[in-house]
A and B are shown apart, each in its own frame.
Chain A
């Protein structure tokens, strides 16, 4: 069952259950392979010259794949429409392994204003290389690029490839009337905190709960993530201590959505995951504030009450009629978010069972945000890079595969980390490199000190090379404690 499927459910709506039959799965695999190969080819073209033997393997692999498409489907049509890639008319269902390639290829085509490539005959090694190198050499933003590339291919006698320009659609609204992603992100972030607060207080007072609004918020978040993941991830560094629980819920939803997107969840599943993130700590509404904010160690009774919050949350969730035909995955995600991979944690299970993917994702997002947020009982939170290191070492706590995906999103110096560079500058990490090979080379906002004055900016990519020397311009020496250096991380994201 491919999309909207058992199964969400399968259970959720059997009529809509998604069914991926064997052929679909196989084709989806081939489509993803094609993107991965194209990504490597395009990247390699920036590093090696055309004659470099390092290219041979990937070129051969790509040619084989193209041949396969030509044989089985007659032609290979590769098209970019909005934020989607279409292969022979079918939208690419991005897999966890092809996400980075997908992002790269999509961005390159959009930048180069090339919208469609049609391959109608067998290519040889030279033709493919010529095409890729010429494509990558096109300047950014030039609407004549497709024509230029086509002319060039024609001159070289490469007839099986046809190139069309990118179709430009008028800009869609991102969220709340904004087309500026950063502003849209901020509005969405704070509004969502307000809405989730409204949901929880509304529930307490037995008032109408605006679940639709909550859903819209999640949709807005997904729209933004498609545009630029780093905006919302950056906003998670904002810690609204007065509204800890609500702020935390929004952060958990953001991290969860980022993981869900990497995994290739459908929009519908992403909505459910985002909603689960937003509602995962709802049960805490039933815990007295004095316990939640108690600076000392909780006594047994208080701890027992605390441990009930996942189940209380599920009960509350199950009572919200406005959620309509809620997916059981959401309730289960809330139930499981304090369960470890080895099934320890709470609530204590009566029978052994597998944790669901929602539960595993929320667990990672929840822990990471909780560890990096100061609370009355732990004034010094872990710094992002420390929290991540602790989570990686906890072999029984987190799903190691999903943790890797999470690290791929936030980086090993996660967004919001303060780092010392070998240039003696400091930097606030604001975006991770999409390429795992450069996971330790994020983009940072520089903070430098000269003549007793602190200067902020510019933003630099640590993967940037120093042209002539063929070395990196900067590298991270170590992570720093922002408090020691009087750096306020949040101000760089607001």
Chain B
């Protein structure tokens, strides 16, 4: 550092220290969320330093160099990294001096940091730092900016009227010059009575009445206030969108302007969704749909409207809606339904993803219903989600497929019956249960060997009901298998009930065999099987089954005897 004048030495040290804090705060501002304690600490430190410095020295003026900041000619900051340099950030847009004044408020510090952050993120086309600073209208921060970097042809500013007039080629003239006025024109102009001559000169008390002609009434003030502040209203977006639609109708063959129009609509819809204003958003989409359906449009217009629809159902917007729907309690789900229902098929993917984000089952069901409507006839659109890692997404997708009544559904459900998550398999089974037929039978038979007792029990009932006699053989095969004996009673009961529902004498030999079985080994398990078999015989209710029950009355096993007797006294169900 070059030699410093003694009278500013302390101020310089304080400035360097302050800038160091500023740098830290800028970094924290970029890294952390607004409420992060690290950011809060850095901001507090910066505020303390600013307050201390400004209380002592009244103001802080920093000159901005390309990569350096100077205080009274002394460098107080240097960073040549264009991406990181605070000096360069200010310099590149023309800021040459920045001043902070005593009274600087916390909010101003935070807004200033926000400007720096925004400018860093902004593209070349967006507002530069000068505009951002200017728009914030800081009270205790000012700047000097040059626009020398902006290319522009030098413009001559005339010193006076003579100089101004010298440069003109055409002049309608003041007196005796090139242009003459037709008498008709003059006469026409003279017919107009100026406003000031329409009213007599008011005196004293009349002044107020006179002024009222030109003053807004309180009602008008209210109306204007509403107009000015209408940006706060959701209705304003709708008003803007109506205007944008008009413009859309008038756009010509050039495709380029449509791009910007589409962006406007995207932003409008994004805003509405963020605010949870699904009704207004739906209204926009419905209007566009009506226009598409009822008006003769240019190809570009159709293209643009379709793009708007795609935008409305884009992953980004759907993610925003998911955020909004998390607070579903505040929303009318019916209006959300309308919005989603209007989205194109391209929204299916993000909608499915959305299911994974939602916490409310009501909202999830709503989305599933919508997706179900959209995939009608195109179930293959859901295939990517059959390998989704989120069980909840998979379950909803399976449900949608199950509800589709599409014959292709079974093909897709087949991929899910051996999913490691039982919740998924359960849903798959439920979905499968809605279908009959050969392919279904094969899948249900596979599920008889599922690792979950609940699934096996449910699968066997569905199998019996959907495949009737064809189901008998695989079911009998399971109940005769060795592991079946050890399965819990409800599962056993389910299998035997399934056989009962089929009501086929073909099962009688196996049942008779079970009834006649005498084993001391695992006796309670065999007892369970025999009770189930008796119940099944009663359900079958044929002469042959009754004959076996009659035989059972004479069994040496007291339990079997009593159960058979009871079964014979009860009607078949």
Contact = CB atoms under 8 A, between A and B. Distances in A.
A255 interface: no
A2 to B, nearest CB: 7
A379 B185 CA distance: 8
A379 B144 CA distance: 44
B232 A7 contact: yes
A318 B134 CA distance: 25
Contact of B216 (A84, A318, A405): A405
Interface string A363-406: 00000000000101011111101101110100000000110110
Nearest to A293: B170
Contacts of A475: 201
B32 interface: no
A389 B197 CA distance: 10
A486 B268 contact: no
Given A325-B126, A351-B245, A389-B192, A18 B232 contact: yes
Interface string B211-243: 100111010110111011111111011011111
Interface in A169-216: 169-170, 172-173, 176, 186-187, 190-191, 193-195, 198, 208, 210, 212-213, 215-216
B198 interface: yes
Nearest to B248: A350
Nearest to A391: B195
A334 B174 CA distance: 33
Contact of A173 (B144, B232, B249): B144
A20 B229 contact: yes
A10 B268 contact: yes
Contact of A82 (B139, B164, B224): B139
A265 interface: yes
Nearest to A413: B196
A25 B127 CA distance: 28
Contacts of B210: 437, 440
Contacts of B140: 81
B164 A238 contact: yes
B251 interface: yes
B194 interface: yes
A392 B195 contact: yes
Contacts of B240: 7, 9-11, 328-329, 332, 356
Nearest to A173: B144
A314 B155 contact: no
B342 interface: no
A317 to B, nearest CB: 8
B311 to A, nearest CB: 13
B261 A318 contact: yes
A234 interface: no
A311 B250 CA distance: 7
A173 B134 CA distance: 12
Contacts of A17: 231, 271
A385 B196 CA distance: 8
Nearest to A187: B157
A213 B150 contact: yes
Interface string B149-166: 011110111101100100
A191 B231 contact: no
Q: Most chain-B Cβ atoms within 10 A of its Cβ — which of A20, A475, A483? A: A483
A491 B160 contact: yes
Contacts of A267: 134-135, 137
B306 interface: no
A439 interface: yes
Given A81-B139, A242-B170, A332-B247, A25 B229 contact: yes
Contacts of A194: 152-153, 155
Contacts of A19: 232
B233 A6 contact: yes
A169 B141 CA distance: 10
Interface stretch (B6-14, B252-260, B450-458, B533-541): B252-260
B161 A490 contact: yes
Given A5-B232, A241-B170, A271-B135, A96 B225 contact: yes
A97 B193 contact: no
Nearest to B105: A89
A296 to B, nearest CB: 12
A315 interface: yes
Interface stretch (B176-184, B347-355, B415-423, B496-504): B176-184
Given A213-B147, A319-B256, A385-B196, A347 B250 contact: yes
A318 B257 contact: yes
Given A210-B152, A385-B195, A315 B257 contact: yes
B195 A240 contact: no
A479 interface: yes
A483 B176 CA distance: 9
A219 B196 contact: no
A479 B135 contact: no
Contacts of A440: 196, 199, 201-202, 210
Contact of A389 (B156, B190, B194): B194
B237 A7 contact: yes
Category for how many chain A residues contact B: 35 or more
Contacts of B214: 404, 407-408, 412, 436, 439
B302 to A, nearest CB: 16
A349 interface: yes
Contacts of B83: none
Contact of B215 (A5, A191, A321, A404): A404
Nearest to B210: A437
B221 A96 contact: yes
B207 A437 contact: yes
B234 A7 contact: yes
Interface in B6-32: none
A354 B256 contact: no
A326 interface: yes
B479 interface: no
B231 A1 contact: yes
A263 interface: yes
A64 B210 CA distance: 29
A335 B243 CA distance: 9
A332 B237 CA distance: 13
A93 B122 CA distance: 28
A332 B168 contact: no
A285 interface: no
Given A9-B240, A198-B152, A382-B189, A482 B168 contact: no
B384 interface: no
A324 B127 contact: yes
Given A7-B234, A169-B101, A488-B161, A349 B246 contact: yes
Contacts of A349: 246
Interface string A328-339: 110110011000
A475 B190 CA distance: 22
B271 to A, nearest CB: 4
Contacts of B243: 328, 332, 335-336, 353, 356, 359
30 contacts: A2-B229, A6-B231, A8-B231, A9-B231, A9-B240, A11-B267, A96-B216, A96-B221, A96-B224, A97-B216, A169-B142, A190-B155, A191-B157, A195-B152, A238-B164, A242-B169, A318-B259, A351-B245, A354-B242, A357-B227, A379-B185, A383-B194, A388-B194, A390-B192, A404-B216, A436-B211, A440-B202, A478-B196, A481-B190, A490-B161
Interface of B: 99, 101, 103, 123, 125-128, 130-131, 134-135, 137, 139-140, 142, 144, 147, 150-153, 155-158, 160-161, 164, 167-172, 174-175, 179-182, 185-186, 189-190, 192-199, 201-202, 207-208, 210-211, 214-216, 218, 220-221, 223-225, 227-234, 236-237, 239-247, 249-252, 254, 256-257, 259-261, 264, 267-268, 270-271, 274-275
Given A11-B271, A169-B142, 20 more contacts: A10-B271, A11-B241, A81-B103, A194-B152, A241-B169, A241-B170, A242-B168, A264-B228, A325-B125, A328-B244, A332-B247, A347-B246, A386-B189, A401-B220, A402-B224, A407-B195, A419-B196, A436-B214, A494-B158, A494-B164
A-B residue pairs, 10 tightest by C-beta: A385-B194, A374-B172, A318-B257, A491-B161, A194-B155, A324-B125, A14-B271, A318-B260, A436-B211, A386-B192
